[in-house]
């Protein structure tokens, strides 16, 4: 475990991509809440749509990087990959919902998917960072 | 970059998307259309007929006893026809220019789908985006009224996405997408060289989503009525973008002042006064993305000061769940249209039969050019329908009068837009993607000269 995770420090690309995806999907949730709270200021819906699209691109490339890493046995595990893939699928469906015009793009299903997607990517990020933290602790 | 990724993903999903369409369009015509519950699927159902054009000798199909001929071919996107009493026919060749600004990742995907609908093959939204499509009015001179013009000239060039035309006295009024202009024009003239004079600015701007400004003159020639379509589907560009839009303007051509004559009309086209009356009629393109069977497009007489619902409600008080903040005060005032044409047929042309060439049952009835649907998987529209009128009111169901715009392979040879009656009593049809002006006459007896 320690060996495999230590290798994560030598393959920073997944850490970088994951960090952007986490930020985007959480940003989408925050802008969704801002939209609903504003009573329909479309600026927030537009932000959410771009955050979802950007998050999907970074999570998508992240999934590829992670897969390569797992197959080369550098770092990562299938649980990490599963969480990331689940977040991607949820947020892809969410981006279709968000493509609706106006209130129903968010209210209801859109918001629920934004919450699920954000939770999934947060758990993925937390597991990933915690393995790195343990490795760093063991090293000192 | 990610535009293409998203477009590909969305289109792949579209291909596998099947939506139940168990309401027959004929249940959605007339004064009381069946309105199902809104159905916002994961992906809006989309089906646009690919444009293949007309082969030599191919024509649309007309009922037995009628005859259809191409009056002019090789035009570029003719959208509106305006016959003059002299026998000359003005043909507005026009396209939108530029593309709408991108607010959301969805926008370029939608633009791509629309470009297929206009024969662009998906490369650019319109030919206008490539720079330099014709923006002109072509004059067809058919002095002997046989449907074969002896002369074809460019009456006026370098317009700005013009659509509506009206002649009052010796002035030709042209509704560009951003302004009404007028030219000195003596009927009989084949070319205008004098520069235009601006009458009034119209809402154009960067988005200009519904850009066709349909126009007609009041019977006494004292006012112009202009259809100004909305800047969005249901106000998703924000309320500011809709200032004075989704409305019919009443313009004083002398002073250039205007007032809103009626509002809540999402995209009003085909503005025409009912013959021998002061009643203005229009056909309206209603909203999309509530399912294949919502919302029926319609034909209606337009009441002074009336509000027809857009964007807050449709068909009277059916509230659209997508629009916030809601306006119950406006919804309470919204009135339903006179006559539904069924969903997504995209009516863009309207004319009343005031000639004497066709059999008497046609007199006073309406012809509607239905450009054809994109927001449903089984096509609707792509035809010219006839609706009988009794006592100035529509009765019965629309009858398909001219079809064959969609081939048996469901590819579009043409799409009808503007319709008009010429002085011989023939029906003239502008076919924008077929690049043709068609003329339908009754062959049962010789055409009245």
Residues A104-125 have pLDDT tens digits of 999 999 999 999 999 999 999 9
**CB proximity A54 to B under 8 Å:** yes
| Beta-carbon separation of A49 and B104 below 8 A | yes
**CB proximity B2 to A under 8 Å:** yes
| Beta-carbon separation of A96 and B13 below 8 A | yes
Report how many Cβ contacts below 8 Å link chain A to chain B.
61
Would you place residue A137 in the very low, low, confident or very high pLDDT band (cuts 50, 70, 90)? low
Over range A63-76, report the average pLDDT: 86
| Beta-carbon separation of A102 and B289 below 8 A | no
For A102, the closest of B42, B105, B322 (CB atoms) is B322
Q: Do residues B173 and B196 touch, judged by C-beta distance below 8 A?
A: no
Sign of dihedral through CA atoms B438, B440, B446, B447? Answer: negative
The Cα of A2 is separated from the nearest Cα of chain B by a number of Å equal to 37
Per-residue pLDDT of chain B (449 residues; tens, 9 = 90+): 334 434 433 443 443 344 455 789 999 999 999 999 998 888 777 788 889 999 999 999 999 999 999 999 999 999 999 999 999 999 999 998 888 899 999 888 877 777 766 655 433 334 434 445 789 999 999 999 899 999 999 999 999 999 999 999 999 999 999 999 999 999 899 999 999 999 999 999 999 999 999 999 999 999 999 999 999 999 999 999 999 999 999 999 999 999 999 999 999 999 999 999 999 999 999 999 999 999 999 999 999 999 999 999 999 999 999 999 999 999 999 999 999 999 999 999 999 999 999 999 999 999 999 999 888 888 999 999 999 999 999 999 999 999 999 999 999 999 999 999 999 999 999 999 999 999 999 988 554 44
* Backbone phi and psi for residue A60, each to the nearest 5 degrees, phi listed first: -65, -50
The Cα of A121 is separated from the nearest Cα of chain B by a number of Å equal to 21
B interface test, pick of A52, A53, A90, A102 with most B CB neighbours within 10 Å: A102
Closest Cα to residue B208, out of B178, B238, B234, B180?
B178
**CB proximity A99 to B under 8 Å:** yes
| Beta-carbon separation of B232 and A101 below 8 A | yes
Interface predicted TM-score (ipTM) of this complex, two decimals? 0.85
| Beta-carbon separation of A49 and B323 below 8 A | no
What is the SS3 assignment for chain B?
Answer: CHHHHHHHHHHHHHHHCCCCCCCCHHHHEECCCCCCCCCCCCCCCCCCCCECCCCCCCCCECCCCEEEEEEECCCCCEEEEEECCCCEEEEEECCCCCCCCCCCCHHHHHHHHHHHHCCCCCCCCCHHHHCCCCCEEEEEECCCCCCCCCEEEEEECCCCCCCEEEEECCEEEEECCCEEEEEECCCCCCCCCCCCEEEEECCCCCCCCCCCCCEEECCCCCCEEEEECCCCCCCCCCHHHHCCCCEEEEECCCCCCEEEEEECCCCEEEEEECCCCCCEEEEECCCCCCCCCCCEEEEEECCCCCECCCCCEECCCEECCCCCCCCHHHHCCCCCCCEEEEECCCEEEEEECCCCCCCHHHCCCEEEEECCCCCCCCCCCCEEEEEEEECCEEEEEEEEEEECCECCCCCECCCEEEEEECCCCCEEEEECCCCEEEEEEECCCCCCC
CATH superfamily of B2-7+49-94+134-442: TolB, C-terminal domain (2.120.10.30)
Q: Is the pLDDT of residue A9 over 60?
A: no
**Cβ neighbours of B40 in A, within 8 Å:** 100, 104
| Beta-carbon separation of A100 and B324 below 8 A | no
| Beta-carbon separation of B323 and A103 below 8 A | yes
| Beta-carbon separation of B325 and A97 below 8 A | no
**Cβ neighbours of B238 in A, within 8 Å:** 42-43
The Cα of B346 is separated from the nearest Cα of chain A by a number of Å equal to 20
**CB proximity A104 to B under 8 Å:** yes
| Beta-carbon separation of B103 and A100 below 8 A | no
**CB proximity A97 to B under 8 Å:** yes
| Beta-carbon separation of B323 and A54 below 8 A | no
Chain A residue with CA closest to B38: the answer is A104
For A102, the closest of B2, B6, B324 (CB atoms) is B324
| Beta-carbon separation of B322 and A53 below 8 A | no
The Cα of A8 is separated from the nearest Cα of chain B by a number of Å equal to 28
Biggest CA–CA distance in chain B, Å, is 62
- Residue B117: what pLDDT? 63
Over range A47-59, report the average pLDDT: 98
**CB proximity B43 to A under 8 Å:** yes
For A49, the closest of B9, B105, B320 (CB atoms) is B105
% of chain A residues with pLDDT over 90: 76
- Residue B333: what pLDDT? 97
**CB proximity A73 to B under 8 Å:** no
B interface test, pick of A32, A37, A101, A113 with most B CB neighbours within 10 Å: A101
Domain boundaries, chain B: 2-7+49-94+134-442
**CB proximity B12 to A under 8 Å:** no
The string of pLDDT tens digits covering residues A71-91 is: 987 777 899 999 999 999 999
């Amino acid at each position: 475990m320690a060996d495999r995770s230590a290798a994560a420090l030598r393959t920073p690309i997944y850490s970088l991509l994951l960090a952007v995806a986490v930020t985007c999907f959480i940003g989408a949730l925050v802008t969704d809440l801002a939209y609903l709270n504003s009573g329909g200021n479309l600026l927030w819906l537009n932000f959410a749509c771009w955050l979802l699209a950007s998050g999907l691109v970074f999570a998508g490339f992240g999934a590829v990087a992670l897969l390569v890493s797992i197959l080369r046995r550098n770092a990562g595990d299938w649980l990490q990959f599963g969480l990331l893939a689940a977040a991607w699928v949820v947020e892809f469906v969410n981006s279709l919902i968000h493509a609706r015009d106006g209130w129903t793009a968010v209210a209801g299903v859109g918001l629920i998917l934004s919450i699920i997607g954000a939770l999934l990517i947060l758990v993925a990020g937390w597991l990933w960072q915690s393995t790195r933290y343990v490795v760093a602790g063991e090293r000192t | 970059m990610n535009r293409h990724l998203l477009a590909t993903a969305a289109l792949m999903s579209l291909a596998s998307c099947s939506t139940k369409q168990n309401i027959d369009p004929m249940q959605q015509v007339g004064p009381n259309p069946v309105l199902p519950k809104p159905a916002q699927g994961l992906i809006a159902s989309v089906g646009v007929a690919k444009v293949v054009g007309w082969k030599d000798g191919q024509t649309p199909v007309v009922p037995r006893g009628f005859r259809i001929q191409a009056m002019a071919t090789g035009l570029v996107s003719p959208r509106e026809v305006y016959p003059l009493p002299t026998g000359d026919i003005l043909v507005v060749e026009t396209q939108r220019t530029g593309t709408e600004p991108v607010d959301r990742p969805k926008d370029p995907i939608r633009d791509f789908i629309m470009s297929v609908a206009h024969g662009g093959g998906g490369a650019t939204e319109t030919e206008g985006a490539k720079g330099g499509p014709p923006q002109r009015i072509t004059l067809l001179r058919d002095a002997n009224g046989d449907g074969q013009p002896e002369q074809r000239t460019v009456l006026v060039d370098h317009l700005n996405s013009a659509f509506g035309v009206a002649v009052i006295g010796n002035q030709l009024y042209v509704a560009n997408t951003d302004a009404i202009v007028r030219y000195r024009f003596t009927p009989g003239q084949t070319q205008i060289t004098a520069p235009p004079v601006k009458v009034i600015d119209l809402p154009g701007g960067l988005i200009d989503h519904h850009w066709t400004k349909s126009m007609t003159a009041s019977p006494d020639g004292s006012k112009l009525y202009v259809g100004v379509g909305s800047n969005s589907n249901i106000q998703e560009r924000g309320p500011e973008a809709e200032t004075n839009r989704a409305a019919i303007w009443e313009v004083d051509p002398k002073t250039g002042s205007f007032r809103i004559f009626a509002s809540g009309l999402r995209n009003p086209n085909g503005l025409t006064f009912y013959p021998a009356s002061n009643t203005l009629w229009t056909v309206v393109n209603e909203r999309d993305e509530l399912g294949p069977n919502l919302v029926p497009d319609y034909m209606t007489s337009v009441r002074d000061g009336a509000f027809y619902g857009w964007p807050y409600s449709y068909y009277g008080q059916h509230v659209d769940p997508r629009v916030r903040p809601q306006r119950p005060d406006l919804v309470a005032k919204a009135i339903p249209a006179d006559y539904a044409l069924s969903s997504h047929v995209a009516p863009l042309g309207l004319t009343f039969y005031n000639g004497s060439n066709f059999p008497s049952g046609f007199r006073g009835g309406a012809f509607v050019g239905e450009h054809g649907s994109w927001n449903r998987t089984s096509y609707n529209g792509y035809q010219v329908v006839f609706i009988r009128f009794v006592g100035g009111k529509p009765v019965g169901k629309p009858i398909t009068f001219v079809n064959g715009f969609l081939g048996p392979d469901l590819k579009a040879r043409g799409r009808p837009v503007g319709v008009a009656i010429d002085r011989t009593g023939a029906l003239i049809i502008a076919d924008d993607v077929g690049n043709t002006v068609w003329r339908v006459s009754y062959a049962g007896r010789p055409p009245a000269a």
